Structure 1
Amino acid sequence: MGRSLHLLPMALVMGGIFFLSHQPGDEISLELFFGVDKVAHAFAYGVLAATVLLALPSRWRTTMPLHAALLAWAACLLFGLSDEFHQSFVPGREASLGDLVADAFGAALVCGGWFIRMKRTLFR
C-alpha cells in the first residue's frame, strides 16, 4: 500500500494536466503577458517531473541518479506528446510543437537540477 502512495501525486498532476487540456480553446484565457502559456506548460511539467521522480523507487534514485533523471524526463516527454495529441481533438485547441518544447524544458530543469543536487550529495 505504501508504494502506491508514491504514485498518487504523479497521478493527480497528470489528471490535472489532462483536465486543463480538455477545456475548449474559447474557455481558456492566459493573456497576462506574451509567452505566459509556455511558462505555464514549463511549470506544470516541472511539477510533473518532480512527482515522477518521487514515484520512482528510492533505490533507483540513489544508486542510478542519471538513469532516474532521464527516465523521469522521458516519462514527462511521452506524457506531453500524448497531451498534445489529445488536445488536437478538443474544440478550439490544437497540438503545438512549442508547447511540447516548453513541457520538455520544464521537466528538464527539474530533472537536471535534481540530478546535480544528487551528484553533490552522493559525492561529498
Structure 2
Amino acid sequence: MTKNRIKRKKTGIIWLIFTLVWMVVIFSFSAREADESAAMSHSVGKMIGRLVIPEYRSWSEDKQGQFAEKIDFPVRKCAHASEYAVLGILILGTAYSFSEDRGRKIILLCWCVGTAYAGTDEFHQLFVPGRSCQFRDVCIDSAGVLTGLILFSLIKHQIAKHSEKKKTCKN
C-alpha cells in the first residue's frame, strides 16, 4: 500500500468517527422528550430575540416568551436542516477518503445514506414521549444533507482549483 493510500485510509477513519459521533448527537437530540425539546428551542428563540431585537430585553417575560413561541417552528426546522447539513459534510468526507469516485454517483449515494438516517431518526421519535414521526422533517433533513454535500463539494473544488493555480504559478 502506498503512503498516500495509507494516509487517506487514516483520514477516512477520522471522518468516519466524526460521522458516527455526529449521528449519536442527532439521535440524542431526537431522544429528548417533547417538553425538553420545546424548552431548548424556546431558549434558542429567546437568544435570537436578545441578539436581533434591540428592545427585546425591555420586554416583559410574557412578551419574550410569546416571541420565542412565534419563532419556534422556524428555529426547529433550521436546526433540523443544519444538523443534517453537517451530517452530509461528514458523510461525503468519509466517502471521499475511502473511494476514488468523486462524481455524482458518490454524492447521490451519500445523499441516500443521509436521507435514510433521517428516516430512521424520525421513526425512532415514535417511541419518544410527546414526539412524532413527520415526513416533512425527513424532507427538511434530506434537504439539509444535500446542502452539506453541495457545500463540501464547492469548498473541495475551490481548494483544488487554488492548489492547481499555486502549482501553475511555481512552474
Q: TM-score, normalised to structure 2's length?
A: 0.63
Number of aligned residues: 123
**8 Å contact 2:35–2:130 — kept in the other structure?**
yes
- Aligned to 1:42, which of 71, 74, 81? 81
Q: For 1:1-124, list aligned pairs within 5 A.
A: 2=10, 3-29=12-38, 30-31=41-42, 32=45, 33=71, 34-58=73-97, 60=99, 63-116=101-154, 121=160
The alpha-carbon distance between structure 1 residues 5 and 119, as it changes in their structure 2 partners (threshold 3 A), is closer
Letter in 1 for 2:139: V
Moved over 6 A (4+): none
Q: Unmatched 5+ residue regions in structure 1?
A: none
Answer with 1 or 2: which has the greater Rg.
Answer: 2
Deviation at 1:39, TM superposition (A): 0.3
Q: Secondary structure at the match of 2:127?
A: coil
> Which structure has the highest helix share of the two?
2
The alpha-carbon distance between structure 1 residues 71 and 86, as it changes in their structure 2 partners (threshold 3 A), is same
Letter in 1 for 2:92: L
Query: What fraction of aligned residue pairs are identical, expressed as a percent?
Result: 28
The alpha-carbon distance between structure 1 residues 93 and 59, as it changes in their structure 2 partners (threshold 3 A), is closer
Greater length-normalized contact order (CA 8 Å, ≥ 6 residues apart)? 1
Q: TM-score, normalised to structure 1's length?
A: 0.84
The alpha-carbon distance between structure 1 residues 114 and 57, as it changes in their structure 2 partners (threshold 3 A), is closer
Deviation at 1:53, TM superposition (A): 0.9
- Measured on the aligned residues, the alpha-carbon RMSD in Å equals 2.4
